[in-house]
Chain A
């Protein structure tokens, strides 16, 4: 779709700075919601012992996802290059249907809205939505 403007990138960087320290809580909540609200996503985690909200594997995976998103923020000027190996991982090993990237992105936005009710303004929302869509595109690069 559209690419990130300079304003989008500044908005994302400024907002994401507020996330510092809350990554675990946010990541855990986002993954928990994804598995609960969109149960089809559970199919990718059949190897986990416990898929309930807030469980140990969910918490751990939430942290993994958040570390990756924070990394993507730092590579916002070249997401395709910066996320190359992650794209290969998702394409060849994990084989996640790219449609699910949107699902996790939406759940992350919902969590951000609960944690930052005043800071998650419509302007921040659109910049973050565009950013996560760009991350999803970069992750889809190696699929075919």
Chain B
């Protein structure tokens, strides 16, 4: 089981209380589609993803970004049970969506960068480390149901 220090718990809950899910979700997800364009393969039905401008203004990208943040919030609300929290989502990503799990951390990187630009100095190396640990646990939980 993952052991969280008090500092880590507080840091992560603090980050999620400070960020606007719609803004950060849209920014992180659109960045992922722009910086790692092969991730677009999973979003064929999203309409125009032709260039950065199209992705940034795409309403489906924006709403899906928010969906992702709300799903992450589930983990934040129950940090002792992230694996169980994501069991269903893991099966979904593996069996139905068939997403290459290596892509999960790509989105994680983009989210880190967006959070860093929002929190600036408050995103210290120690807070950054806690966030990275959180993302690693989330990614690992999402990978669990793959076989």
| B-binding residues in A (CB < 8 A) | 29, 32-33, 35-38, 53, 106, 109-111, 113-114, 117, 120, 122-123, 125-126, 129
Contacts and interface: CB of A to CB of B under 8 A. Distances in A.
Interface of B: 30-31, 34-35, 52, 55-56, 109, 112-114, 116-121, 123-126, 128-129, 132
A117 B23 CA distance: 14
Closest 10 CB pairs of A and B: A36-B125, A117-B117, A113-B117, A122-B34, A126-B35, A37-B129, A113-B113, A113-B116, A33-B125, A53-B125
A110 B56 CA distance: 20
B31 A125 contact: yes
A49 to B, nearest CB: 19
Given A113-B117, A125-B113, A33 B128 contact: yes
Interface centre among B56, B113, B119 (most CB of A within 10 A): B113
Given A33-B125, A37-B129, A123 B116 contact: no
Contacts of A37: 125, 128-129, 132
B115 to A, nearest CB: 9
Contacts of B126: 36, 53
A36 B128 contact: yes
A114 B34 CA distance: 19
B35 A129 contact: yes
Contacts of A122: 30-31, 34-35, 52, 55-56
